[in-house]
């Protein structure tokens, strides 16, 4: 008997995906704007780099704390938390940052309110919203929506940099505030009022929708699947936000590459992120997902070998950017899809919020360890070796996750009905 094909994505589905895509583009470009405006703040306001960097660090801590709470509230109140209130709070933080003249306004506007918005509007939160509203071909939809995070770095950041250069840093933050407010209104009045789709066969384990949060956390703590996904997502943060987003451009400079080629490398990597996320999202609808997730981590480990061998070879750096870009953010739609199956839609926001916290902490560890190793040894070789070992550990963890109803590729053809 031939399985009926899954329904195609509708126009409403496409609009939800578009709003999620744009929300992440605004969130991630708003985060990156700190680096663009750091020098103008030093010049115009007389602030030290230590002060500004401290505000950036506090915003990351706020994100790590807010993400699990926001995920739990998302389970209770729905999409308005992410695509409504969260974006409007981000708009308020960006607006306060645009008008600031004192350090306390920096910490309240950027580190506090904007950090709260950054923590609510995460890739995992948008992936949860999309999963709750699009049940058929949800992997593809999640991949398309979450690729907005890299689009923010690829397209919106250069645009904001041009705005800052031509009109000043205050105009840059006003632009972010206006975009976030518009998306918050769209999210609240459109996405938040749509009903969730009925469950599919892949949602057999819906999970209790009103389980107390502490009860859920105790259950997660005793679940090997949760630990495997949680710690592998921390590995994801260590190897992406930590060592690459923090140290790739400094490493390119260490290798002797000028600033413009170094920025080109990062832009190419960000562009390939879009392709990798969409492709991984599509595959997560069709293949053995733990095998896919583990393979992505092992492929990521192999890409760091290119960094070790680069030296002055710019072409080899471009090869790394292409390969790493394809496996960088691609773990997000796969991890979300697996979490949906094992923990149910009723607690998906809490689960992914906790994992986002792990991702942030892994990123902080990778960034810090990379700096310590370089300062101690005056080389990045051991940074990349540590990333290889950590990524392989993530791959092993992912392979241990059970996959009901789907077979490994060497036991059966890898493509199965959606």
| Location of structure tokens 């199965």 | 416
How many residues does this entry show for the chain?
418
Q: 212 Cβ partners below 8 Å, 6+ apart?
A: none
- Cβ atoms of 49 and 42 closer than 8 Å: yes
CATH 1.20.1250.20 in the chain: give the residue spans. 12-196, 215-402
Give the residue among 180, 173, 154 at the shortest CA–CA distance from 36: 173
- Cβ atoms of 381 and 251 closer than 8 Å: no
Q: What is the pLDDT of residue 201?
A: 39
Quote the tokens at residue 137: 């071909």
pLDDT, tens digit, 9 for 90 and up, residues 178-206: 999 998 887 777 655 554 444 443 444 44
Q: How far is it, in rounded angstroms, from Cα 30 to Cα 178? A: 12
For 211, the 3-state DSSP assignment is coil
- Using CA atoms, how far residue 273 sits from 150, 324, 365, in Å, is 6, 8, 22
Give the residue among 128, 92, 362, 99 at the shortest CA–CA distance from 233: 362
Q: What is the pLDDT of residue 177?
A: 94
Q: What is the pLDDT along the chain (418 residues), one digit of tens a residue?
A: 444 455 566 667 777 788 888 888 888 888 777 767 777 888 888 887 667 767 776 777 787 788 777 777 776 766 666 677 888 899 999 999 999 988 898 899 988 898 888 888 776 777 777 777 666 666 677 777 777 777 666 777 778 878 888 888 899 899 999 999 998 887 777 655 554 444 443 444 444 445 677 777 888 888 999 999 999 999 998 998 778 876 777 788 788 877 567 667 777 787 788 788 888 888 888 888 999 999 999 999 999 998 888 877 888 888 998 999 899 888 988 998 898 888 877 777 788 888 888 887 887 788 778 777 877 888 889 989 999 999 999 999 999 998 876 666 555 444 444 4
Quote the tokens at residue 52: 């500004």
**Strand locations in 258-361 (E):** none
Side-chain-side CA neighbours of 368 within 13 Å: the count stands at 7
| Location of structure tokens 């103008």 | 40
Q: What is the pLDDT of residue 407?
A: 60
Q: How far is it, in rounded angstroms, from Cα 71 to Cα 349? A: 4
Side-chain-side CA neighbours of 252 within 13 Å: the count stands at 22
Predicted TM-score of the model (pTM)? 0.71
Q: 97 Cβ partners below 8 Å, 6+ apart?
A: 105, 106, 109, 110, 114, 173
For 344, the 3-state DSSP assignment is coil
- Cβ atoms of 34 and 56 closer than 8 Å: yes
Give the residue among 266, 104, 84, 106 at the shortest CA–CA distance from 173: 106
For 78, the 3-state DSSP assignment is coil
Alpha helices in 190-288 (DSSP H): 213-221, 224-237, 243-254, 259-284
CATH T-level fold of 12-196 = Growth Hormone; Chain: A; (1.20.1250)
Q: How far is it, in rounded angstroms, from Cα 223 to Cα 216? A: 11
For 349, the 3-state DSSP assignment is helix
C-alpha gyration radius of the chain: 21
Q: How far is it, in rounded angstroms, from Cα 97 to Cα 113? A: 10
CATH T-level fold of 215-402 = Growth Hormone; Chain: A; (1.20.1250)
Q: What is the pLDDT of residue 324?
A: 93
Q: How far is it, in rounded angstroms, from Cα 130 to Cα 138? A: 7
Residue-wise DSSP of 151-214: HIIIIIHHHHHHHHHHH-HHHHHHHHHHHHHHHHHHHHHTGGGSPPPPP-GGG-----TT--HH
């Amino acid at each position: 008997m031939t399985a009926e094909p899954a329904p195609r994505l509708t126009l409403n589905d496409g609009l939800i995906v578009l709003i999620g895509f744009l929300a992440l583009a605004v969130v991630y470009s708003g985060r990156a704007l700190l680096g663009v405006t750091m020098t103008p703040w030093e010049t115009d306001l007389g602030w030290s780099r230590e002060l500004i960097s401290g505000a950036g660090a506090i915003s990351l801590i706020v994100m790590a704390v807010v993400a699990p709470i926001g995920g739990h509230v998302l389970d209770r109140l729905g999409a308005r938390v992410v695509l409504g209130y969260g974006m409007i709070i981000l708009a308020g933080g960006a607006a306060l940052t645009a008008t600031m003249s004192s350090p306390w306004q920096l910490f309240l506007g950027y580190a506090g309110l904007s950090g709260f918005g950054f923590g609510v509007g995460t890739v995992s939160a948008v992936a949860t919203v999309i999963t709750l509203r699009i049940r058929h071909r949800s992997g593809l939809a999640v991949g398309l929506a979450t690729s907005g995070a890299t689009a923010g770095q690829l397209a919106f950041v250069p645009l904001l940099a041009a705005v800052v250069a031509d009109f000043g840093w205050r105009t840059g933050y006003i632009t972010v505030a206006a975009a976030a407010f518009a998306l918050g209104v769209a999210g609240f009045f459109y996405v938040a009022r749509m009903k969730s789709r009925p469950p599919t066969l892949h949602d057999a384990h819906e999970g209790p929708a009103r389980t107390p949060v502490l009860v859920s956390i105790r259950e997660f703590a005793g679940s090997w699947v949760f630990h495997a996904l949680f710690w592998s997502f921390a590995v994801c943060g260590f190897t992406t936000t930590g060592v690459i987003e923090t140290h790739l451009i400094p490493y390119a400079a260490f290798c002797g590459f000028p600033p413009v080629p170094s920025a080109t490398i990062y832009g190419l990597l960000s562009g390939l992120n879009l392709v990798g996320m969409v492709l991984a999202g599509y595959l997560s609808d069709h293949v053995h997902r733990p095998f896919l997730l583990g393979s992505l981590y092992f492929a990521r480990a192999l890409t760091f070998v290119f960094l070790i061998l680069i030296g002055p070879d710019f072409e080899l750096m471009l090869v790394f950017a292409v390969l790493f870009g394809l496996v960088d953010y691609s773990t997000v739609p796969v991890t979300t899809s697996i979490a949906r199956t094992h923990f149910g839609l009723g607690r998906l926001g809490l689960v992914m919020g906790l994992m986002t916290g792990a991702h942030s902490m892994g990123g902080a560890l990778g960034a810090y360890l990379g700096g310590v190793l370089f300062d101690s040894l005056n080389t990045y070789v051991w940074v990349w070796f540590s990333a290889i070992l950590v990524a392989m550990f993530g791959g092993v963890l992912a392979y241990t996750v059970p996959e009901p109803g789907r077979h490994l590729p060497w036991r059966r053809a890898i493509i199965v009905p959606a």
